[in-house]
Structure 1
């Protein structure tokens, strides 16, 4: 393929990519790439994509591999294998040597932004553009946007709390990304409570506490994830107290994230608790069904996979957190690539089945499961195991049989014996019914998860 063909092919690919990612992500990452070499094979092509730095290569290869692969396949008209390498674009090098003022300005801006992400530890993949919003996180999203528009005065500090994988870290990073895009020289630092603790311990051990204070106290924006980990550590809390006062006193912004509100963080000094509560405290609830659908759409689009709505709803009905969704999509795309097959309902359901094989309640006894179902639905054990066919009794009984069969692995006859001496065909029908409902009905899925968690 000639040099002109390579340029045209990559230009067309970039046009496709522009439609799939935000302008900020495109200018930061994809504008730093070029098509270096094409190796034609039988029915496939191996594409060598050059990246301006190892940072760009690692990010695109890790987060956008599938998206680039699918975009190239559309352009080339055949399946493509990708090889990413660190190599400067010769056309850009020649432009740089020619001293084109506009090119030099754009190149310097991009280099400054990349250097800023590295220096501040802010993750550019977590932006407001790819954050899905619903009623469970709407307040936190609005507060983060307000802070990014007016840091230091909108809400200071902003304290975001919630369970694992609900989007706290994403929102904190999104604020950092927006501020760095406005001004890459902004003094921002993203770290965890453990990072802060380690830095102060190292400063005390090496007698370099002054450099530690220079690092943290002169920041314009300080983003600390998992702040609850500093609780109970007197020296760390003392240092953070002074850091907090120094940053906010100079007009800087502080954003904190935790798995619980300040009032519930044990062994947190009262003076810190009062400062945390002086700002805005917002919580993020676990994603509901609609939000999980939106997250799946965003994450699959980032990977270059266009999932139909029926598959999105099946996944959303079975996977309950954003992190698990991302993990499942990685597994799904990898499995489809290895099998060289299209992503369809059969593949999705087979992988969801494997995901459910984990020993969630393997240690529970049949009696424990009966008790858990009885308590969860507020149905007496006698009614649950009895003859009543009323819906408020029959559906919990079907769920009980499903759990005994699928989770404990009991034989059909044994399940029937435990649940009021029923025939094995009745058990089979119950298991099939709940399996079908669990794939499409988020309420049934929620019931199953609730019972499993209680066990």
Structure 2
């Protein structure tokens, strides 16, 4: 992907004092940024606006250069990757062509004396006519490896990809392809799943690993939309031969979101012949989609057949343990110590999208960094309400359940977690496990960890015991009903 913000090294400047108070320049910056936000708000979803633009603070506007403060370097990189085109167009509209944008990240470092470090990051470079979309280097002959640009994002690696049951097959296949591109049965490798589950991360990790092992290979990452646009441009500019030669010169072709080939007959025909040529030469083809190839509509049957020649692997939404691991890794990467109970709260509520999961964490970190607040469950609730809307009964926590059960049966929460097998403790513990399964999204394994590290078979047995009591013991049935009503209130 084109890096609109350049690749200059970061300049770290130590500051002995906090940032200077607002000046006339910073006031101008606020006005300029508000005008920008008015345009941006019409071009992104409310959720993305709240997550990625509300936390930004305008610092100063000097001539045609706007300086913004963002919560973290990850935040900056996300803006660079996903919104550089929108930001450039917006700033040009507000300040005029050739306007410049710069970011600053203030990171607090706790040591003997507190000092603030400002990291100054370059944004898009000044160029009156620079295109937002990068053009591939079509030439009559294939470009030299030294001049080849593959549009891979270096941040996407296997090292920072969290693997679990929901993506195990796709992750294993990706690693196998990265080790021997074009020499496994996984050609093409098609990875499908809903948006925001890590497909792009995984396929770009393949490309980056391949280049680590062999810098002489041409590895190209593109999207079906970009492929289509470039094909249309090639036709209009009478460069179809150069277009075809370029794509057939690569050693590894990664195409994201092939579902957008639907209904584009001419593009499909060109991609069909490109696919055949690469496959016959033993080159590796890697594709992603939001659904299995056989469910694609308005796509040539010849293409669908070829998409199914190799391996088709799906990525499912992550389970609770994997969501928690993702949040722990991301908070570590950001250098922010977020309490486990806060991460657990987010992991319980954001269940379908890794991208949304990370977005919620970044919003929380932004409030911690910019507003000086402590990371807490209450702050997490506030962030999630602003992004997800009103929260439902999933707000019930394990602490809520254990406290309610302990109070009902007049025992301590410590006894619920203990190893004792006295009947007056075993029954409440079993009821608590049953309620945990009913009122949370925790797996049996996770529930067991909250009760003294018991394994999932013990939890399953406890749940089955309570289910039996509900049908035969009115006292237990009444206790469960009252506890459920209290916890849902």
Using structure 2 for the length normalisation, give the TM-score. 0.56
Distance apart, 1:349 and its partner CA:
2.0
Residue 239 in 1 paired to residue 270 in 2? yes
Matched, 1:84 2:115: no
- Which of 128, 147, 150 is residue 158 of structure 2 equivalent to? 128
**Corresponding position: 1:257 with 2:271:** no
Q: Give the whole-Å Cα distance in 1 for the aligned partners of 2:112 and 2:271.
A: 55
Change (3 A) 1:251 1:258: same
The count of aligned residue pairs is 305
Query: 1:312 Cα shift?
Result: 1.4
2:169 aligned partner = 139
In structure 2, stretches of 5+ residues that fail to align are 1-5, 21-69, 80-104, 123-143, 393-430, 440-482
Residue deviations 1:45-102, cap 9 Å, x none?
xxxxxxxxxxxx997772499xx865x614674152413156xxxxxxxxxxxxxxxx
CA-atom RMSD in angstroms: 3.8
Q: CA deviation at 1:135?
A: 0.8
Aligned with 1:240: secondary structure? helix
Q: CA deviation at 1:132?
A: 0.7
* 1:166-181 mapped onto 2 (5 Å cutoff): 166-181=197-212
Partner of 1:209: 240
Shift of 1:182: 2.6
Greater CA drift, 337-346 or 216-225 = 337-346
Q: Deviations over 1:359-395 (max 9, x none)?
A: 99xxxxxxxxxxxxxxxxxxxxxxxxxxxxxx9xxx9
User: For residues 46-445 of structure 1, what are the structure 2 equivalents within 5 Å?
Assistant: 62-63=76-77, 73-74=109-110, 77-85=113-121, 119-154=149-184, 155-320=186-351, 321-357=353-389, 433-434=487-488
Distance in 1 (CA, whole Å) between partners of 2:347 and 2:145 is: 35
Higher mean Cα deviation, 348-357 or 234-243?
348-357
Bigger share in helix: 1
- CA–CA distance in 2 between the matches of 1:352 and 1:344? 12
Q: Measure how far apart 1:113 and its partner are.
A: 11
Label 1:113 to 1:167 Cα distance change in 2 as closer, same or farther (>3 A).
Answer: farther
The alpha carbon displacement at 1:327 in A equals 1.1
Indicate the SS of the match to 2:210.
helix
Task: Give distance in 1, aligned partners of 2:262 and 2:305.
Answer: 14
C-alpha contact 1:227 1:258 (8 A) present in aligned 2: yes
**TM-score under structure 1 length normalisation:** 0.59
CA–CA separation in structure 1 for the residues paired with 2:484 and 2:117:
45
Equivalence for 1:402: none
Q: Deviations over 1:294-326 (max 9, x none)?
A: 111122222212223222111100112201111
Measured after TM superposition, the shift of residue 188 of structure 1 is 1.3
d(CA) in 1 for partners of 2:121, 2:195: 35
Distance 1:214 1:434, change over 3 A: farther
- Structure 1 distance, partners of 2:329, 2:282, is 35
How far residue 180 of structure 1 moved from its aligned partner, in angstroms, is 2.0
CA contact (8 A) 2:106 2:119 kept: no
Distance 2:384 2:147 in 1: 40
| TM-aligned CA distance change 1:309 to 1:39, over 3 Å | closer
Cα distance change of structure 1 residues 115 and 293 upon mapping to structure 2, 3 Å threshold: farther
Give 5+ residue unaligned stretches, structure 1: 1-28, 45-56, 87-111, 361-390, 400-428, 436-455
> 1:310 and 1:266 mapped to 2: Cα distance?
44
Q: Which residue of 2 aligns with 1:38?
A: 14
Question: 3-state DSSP class of the match of 1:82?
Answer: strand
Q: Distance in 2 between matches of 1:34 and 1:75?
A: 21
Task: Report the CA distance shift for 1:64/1:78 in structure 2 as closer, same or farther (over 3 A).
Answer: farther
- Distance in structure 2 (CA, Å) of the matches to 1:210 and 1:350: 56
Q: What is the DSSP-based 3-state SS (H/G/I as helix, E as strand, rest coil) of the residue aligned with 1:256?
A: strand
Q: 1:353 Cα shift?
A: 2.7
- Structure 2 distance, partners of 1:248, 1:163, is 27
